[in-house]
Chains A and B, each alone.
Chain A
Amino acid sequence: MVGGIESGSFRDPSGQIINKDGRIYRTVTASAVDDFKWVKDTGLLDTLVADGALVPFEEADSSLVEELAAEPALLLEHPRLPFISYPYEWPFNALKAAALHHLDIHLRALDHNVTMSDASAYNIQFRGSEPIFIDHLSFVPLRDGGLWHGHRQFCEQFLNPLLLRSYLDVPHNAWYRGNLEGIPIDQLRRVLPFQRKFSLNVLMHVTLQARFQRNFSDSCSAEKIKAVNNVNLPVSTLRRMLRKLSAWIEKLQPPGGKTEWSDYADGNSYNDEGTTAKRDFIKNFVTDTKPLTLWDLGCNTGDYSVAALDAGAEYVVGFDVDQGALEKGFVRAQHDKLNLLLLHFDASNPSPEQGWSQAERRGMSERGPADGLLALALVHHLAISCNVPLARIASWLANLAYGGVVEFVPKSDPMVKRLLRLRQDIFLDYNEEYFLQALSNVAEIQQIAAVPNSGRKLIRYRSKPNLPGDH
């Protein structure tokens, strides 16, 4: 990883994040330092840190970063988070937890006469299933009557994506990934069903906001500017607004119903002996390699992620395309307080590098390599549903992590038969021998074991030196 100013933090004139020698620093510029110190003196930041709601910070010697930043008025150092994720990768309940966290922090800030200058979802990260706020410079002194400047941003980045899933059963991820600022208010208004528009909450935060935007945003009239400058939002009203939003979001749920692979872990095609064998194989891999971060691709509800955590993996990031499975897994991680973060991901189209200069939000592989990787019941989806040649899959897996466990599912397996049921079998070289050959070109194959009572194989490999990250 190259040190320097983090590309996601360049917009903030108050300060920037610097990544140097694996350590995380935050510069506070001269224009923001007074506000920061004032806020710090209220005791708010320390209270939030103590509760695990805000990333810890301590002052550091600013000469540490002098070659990277022009004389910051103050330098802070933060502990490094195990994995940076983005709202377009979060499942519904992670985004919901993040939204509630943001509102909760804002309400607590008001108790200290502090407010928040923005409401960016990118200012929230996760440790397992626990949201944590990461931007210490979003806190500013409260001016009585001052507006909630982050309201529109909160709606677009938190509320609207949640409404999209909850009211229309459309997951937010693809839309959000296409528009990094979230779901625009007027666009959401257009797609919301008519019967939903009778709620006072929808009327205010969606319909009226969109209407006012449409009616007044193009006007630069003196009357408008005068009116806007005289807006006075009493703190009590702001509090009520935040509380009502919180109560509303608390009630939002995705419509029920199973998604395609949700019942996989319960109703899969092999017996418990097979599952146990897989768990043991993974546990041995983890015990031997002691990965700090492990990526579980196609994690479903996280069964094998949990096996890896039990065996001593420090932190697991589970990736899956199935919203229902992710949501169940997220609830499980919350319930058992697991170091497991679940993210939405389509293996055939993982998160790209994007945003300003195509560098603001990092791609999946740019956040690696992981120490370890699990790819169980994944290769056949990529090879047969997505037509990705086995050699490319092997090379991709070897690039993502220093080593891992991959499962090969043969054509005779009921799950592969199901994928081939309605299409012509054009996959003449889809077989174990060819896959092992492809994998051995990019990795050292260390162990192969059969999954009992199935034709499946588990393969443990170590990526060839210098391969991870070397595209």
Chain B
Amino acid sequence: MKNALALSCAVLLSVTVYSTPALAYLDPGTGSIILQLLLGGLAGALVILKLYWFRLKALFSRKPADDRRSKDPESS
């Protein structure tokens, strides 16, 4: 049942933490990889919780402007 618990945590978080990404430069496999992280067991689910925690924290700490360009000088 640990997966069920992990699933419900993830669902809860997925509806509370919401954002719309920029359309360019998407890594298309991320959704599947994170899902497999979740299916892999409790440890994976905890990592997802941590990832969401980082997102939540970033919401309050990051500068409002999208700074990906400055992080990635090769993007154009």
Contacts and interface: CB of A to CB of B under 8 A. Distances in A.
Nearest to A156: B28
A174 to B, nearest CB: 22
Contact of B51 (A148, A151, A216): A216
B68 A220 contact: yes
B72 A220 contact: yes
B54 A217 contact: no
Nearest to B20: A214
Most-contacted residue by chain A among B7, B21, B25, B50 (CB, 10 A): B21
B40 A155 contact: no
Nearest to B27: A217
Interface SS majority for chain A: helix
A423 B25 CA distance: 50
Given A148-B36, A203-B7, A218 B44 contact: no
A237 interface: yes
Contacts of B14: 208, 211-212, 215
Contacts of B38: 208
A152 B31 contact: yes
B71 A228 contact: no
Contact of B68 (A151, A218, A232, A234): A218
B21 A147 contact: no
Nearest to B33: A228
Contacts of A210: 31
Contact of B30 (A213, A233, A237, A241): A213
B17 A215 contact: yes
A196 interface: no
B49 to A, nearest CB: 11
Contact of B40 (A205, A216, A234): A234
Contacts of A152: 28-29, 31-32
A214 B14 CA distance: 10
Contacts of A211: 14, 31
Contacts of B68: 218, 220
A227 B51 contact: yes
A217 B41 CA distance: 21
Nearest to B47: A227
Contact of B11 (A155, A203, A205, A223): A203
A221 interface: yes
Given A208-B14, A227-B50, A149 B20 contact: no
B32 A209 contact: yes
Nearest to B34: A212
A211 B33 CA distance: 12
B38 to A, nearest CB: 7
B5 interface: no
Contact of A218 (B18, B21, B41, B51): B21
Given A215-B55, A216-B51, A147 B72 contact: no
B31 A218 contact: no
A208 B30 contact: no
A228 B35 CA distance: 11
B37 to A, nearest CB: 5
A208 B11 contact: yes
Nearest to A234: B40
A214 B58 CA distance: 16
Contact of A149 (B18, B26, B29): B29
Interface string A192-211: 00000000100111001111
Given A147-B36, A208-B31, A216-B31, 20 more contacts: A149-B29, A152-B29, A205-B35, A209-B31, A212-B31, A212-B35, A213-B31, A214-B31, A215-B14, A215-B52, A217-B27, A219-B55, A221-B58, A227-B47, A228-B30, A231-B36, A231-B44, A232-B43, A233-B39, A237-B39
Interface of A: 147-149, 151-152, 155, 185, 200, 203-205, 208-221, 223-224, 227-228, 230-234, 237, 241
Please provide the 6 A-B residue pairs with the shortest distance between their CB atoms, ordered closest to farther.
A213-B31, A218-B21, A212-B34, A152-B32, A211-B14, A217-B30
12 contacts: A148-B32, A151-B36, A205-B35, A208-B10, A208-B14, A212-B48, A213-B28, A213-B31, A216-B34, A218-B21, A218-B22, A220-B71
